[in-house]
């Protein structure tokens, strides 16, 4: 491994060893006796470290420890739980540079995006601290004299978190920070493609819990492939599964958890579009489309996949985008002069190539040709050139999400047609319109407008703030994480009626006398 960018120093600072146990109940690590799997950087192909897979026996140890920890953690007053989460946020502040560097190197996103991901973790901790004093219920008037009704929210228990490689740490924190202040304990199964970033987070958080004398089991980690995810999903001791990943994976999780009447919170695929109106500020539109399409090498669930462009500005947008793409610098994401890093692995490169072949077969016209980059600096085989195609929305490949920097240009005549095109895909995560026309903006946001969970005006499809609930509709899964009242997913609602009278009247005026 080249240490030109201080990777070794970051690993040491984060407590990452060459070989790491992959299973933890907090500050304690469990030797499962299983084989190790590798974390290999897509940046230069180097082996970063190895992580031990979790087996059923070590998993059961984690679950039982979590069950015991929940009994104590749920009784800690919520504001005190919030103070511990505040300290986790402060610990992340101290490790931001090192953790951001590891995220960038292990996943392949730019260093600036790696830092941004850690900042999301810090932000959600801050949000959760305030939330710890705002877990509000309602008071209702009873129809019976001398009675009072109210509702309250209680912790669920163990929250299982299954996260994806593209945001190897932030999405975990969205779930964990809220779950912790709600009184839940968490078991995290990160992507096997980015396990070291997860181990670093486990070290940081567990040190804070231990410093406060909290029991092992509040913050747990299990590592491995889909079989570990299946163990969590099938486990009746885990009332809520929050899973982020592909629609295919989400359907499996939903069926498994639903079969045992558990709860699932799903954040799945996106096929996101920006509508560029003839009334758009063209400079803003091009910038928004550019970052949306090539940021994180097109590996965000909110990446821009489709540009729906008014026919009067279509040629201008096409030529300006092609010019902008010609200026993109592709290379090591830790070098801040580069705009685009690698795809996560060679399987992702294969899917990228198959998508290029498919769009051409269906009649797509090349605007900017894609290719796999070779030569000095591209030895990992994971670097590809962002591509642009003119296409039709009904193309089969356009209807599917390809996790790569491929952008489809689609022409429209009327706003109604543009919104129909925008909505005519199975996914419903993020959407945007670029326009300076208030009526167009309001129509896009109306009940007859975008059918996505996120709808933006004059910003792109990616880059959500933690203050708003994040998630989407249709094949995106319907889940909501992060801000607003997303906390309710991590708690159970209880309705209470108190009779402070000297009689026992029944509801609905029912008479029952003996």
Residues annotated catalytic, as ranges: 267, 301
Question: Based on the number of CB atoms within 10 Å of its own CB, is 83 exposed (0-12), middle (13-18) or buried (19 or more)?
Answer: middle
CA distance 208 to 74: 17
CA distance 396 to 402: 11
Q: What single DSSP character describes residue 108?
A: -
Name the nearest CA neighbour of 435 among 311, 312, 282, 272: 282
CA distance 266 to 478: 6
Return the residue matching tokens 């670029």: 434
Run of H or E including 359: helix 346-361
Name the nearest CA neighbour of 293 among 371, 408, 195: 408
Residue 482 backbone class (left: φ over 0; alpha: ψ -120 to 50; beta: rest): left
- 124-162: buried (b, 16+ CB within 10 Å) or exposed (e) per residue? bbbbbbebbeebeeeeeeeebeeeeeeeebebbbbbbbb
- Under a CB-based contact definition with an 8 Å cutoff, are residues 308 and 275 in contact? yes
The pairs formed by 4-11 with CB atoms below 8 angstroms and a separation of 24 or more are 4/334, 5/101, 5/105, 5/111, 5/332, 5/334, 5/335, 6/101, 7/48, 7/101, 7/102, 7/105, 7/334, 9/98, 10/97, 10/98, 10/99, 10/101, 10/102, 11/48, 11/49, 11/102, 11/196
CA distance 14 to 92: 11
Widest pairwise Cα distance in the chain? 92
- Under a CB-based contact definition with an 8 Å cutoff, are residues 427 and 270 in contact? yes
CA distance 272 to 467: 21
What counts of helices (H) and strands (E) characterise the chain? 15, 24
DSSP 454-472: EEEESS-SS---TTSEE--
- Classify the C-alpha dihedral 74-221-237-261 as positive or negative: positive
Q: Return the structure tokens found at 199.
A: 């181990």
The runs of H, that is alpha helices, within 95-110 are 96-107
């Amino acid at each position: 491994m080249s240490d030109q960018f201080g990777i070794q120093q970051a690993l040491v600072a984060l407590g990452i060893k060459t070989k790491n146990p992959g299973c933890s109940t907090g500050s304690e690590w469990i030797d499962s006796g299983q084989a190790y799997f590798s974390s290999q950087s897509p940046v230069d192909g180097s082996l970063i470290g190895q992580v031990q897979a979790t087996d059923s026996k070590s998993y059961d140890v984690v679950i039982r420890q979590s069950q015991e920890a929940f009994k104590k953690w749920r009784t800690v007053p919520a504001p005190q739980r919030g103070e511990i989460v505040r300290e986790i946020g402060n610990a992340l502040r101290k490790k931001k540079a090192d953790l951001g560097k590891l995220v960038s190197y292990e996943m392949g996103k730019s260093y600036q995006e790696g830092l941004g991901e850690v900042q999301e973790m810090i932000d959600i901790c801050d949000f959760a601290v305030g939330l710890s004093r705002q877990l509000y219920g309602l008071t209702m008037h009873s129809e019976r004299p001398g009675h009072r009704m109210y509702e309250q929210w209680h912790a669920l228990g163990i929250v299982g978190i299954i996260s994806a490689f593209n945001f190897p740490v932030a999405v975990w924190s969205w779930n964990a920070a809220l779950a912790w202040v709600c009184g839940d304990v968490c078991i995290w199964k990160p992507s096997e493609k980015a396990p070291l970033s997860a181990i670093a987070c486990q070290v940081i958080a567990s040190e804070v819990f231990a410093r406060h004398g909290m029991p092992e089991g509040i913050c747990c980690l299990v590592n491995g492939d889909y079989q570990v995810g299946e163990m969590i999903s099938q486990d009746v001791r885990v009332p809520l599964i929050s899973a982020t990943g592909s629609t295919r994976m989400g359907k499996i999780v939903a069926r498994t958890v639903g079969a045992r009447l558990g709860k699932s919170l799903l954040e799945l695929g996106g096929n996101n579009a920006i509508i560029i109106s003839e009334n758009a500020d063209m400079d803003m539109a091009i910038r928004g489309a550019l970052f949306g399409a090539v940021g994180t090498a097109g590996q965000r669930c909110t990446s821009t996949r489709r540009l729906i462009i008014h026919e009067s500005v279509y040629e201008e947008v096409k030529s300006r985008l092609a010019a902008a793409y010609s200026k993109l610098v592709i290379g090591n994401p830790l070098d801040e002069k580069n705009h685009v890093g690698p795809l996560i692995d060679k399987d992702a490169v294969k899917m990228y190539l198959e998508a290029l072949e498919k769009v051409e077969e269906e009649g797509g016209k090349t605007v900017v040709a894609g290719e796999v980059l070779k030569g000095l600096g591209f030895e990992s085989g994971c670097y590809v050139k962002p591509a642009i195609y003119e296409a039709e929305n009904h193309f089969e490949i356009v209807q599917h999400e390809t996790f790569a920097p491929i952008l489809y240009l689609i022409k429209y005549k009327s706003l109604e047609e543009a919104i129909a095109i925008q909505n005519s895909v199975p996914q419903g995560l993020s959407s945007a319109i670029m326009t300076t026309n208030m009526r167009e903006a309001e129509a896009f946001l109306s009940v007859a407008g975008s059918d996505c969970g996120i709808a933006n005006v004059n910003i792109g499809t990616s880059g959500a703030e933690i203050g708003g609930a994040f998630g989407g509709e249709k094949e995106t899964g319907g889940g909501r994480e992060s801000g607003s009242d997303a906390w309710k997913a991590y708690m159970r609602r209880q309705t209470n009626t108190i009779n402070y009278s000297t009689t026992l009247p029944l509801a609905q005026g029912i008479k029952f006398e003996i």
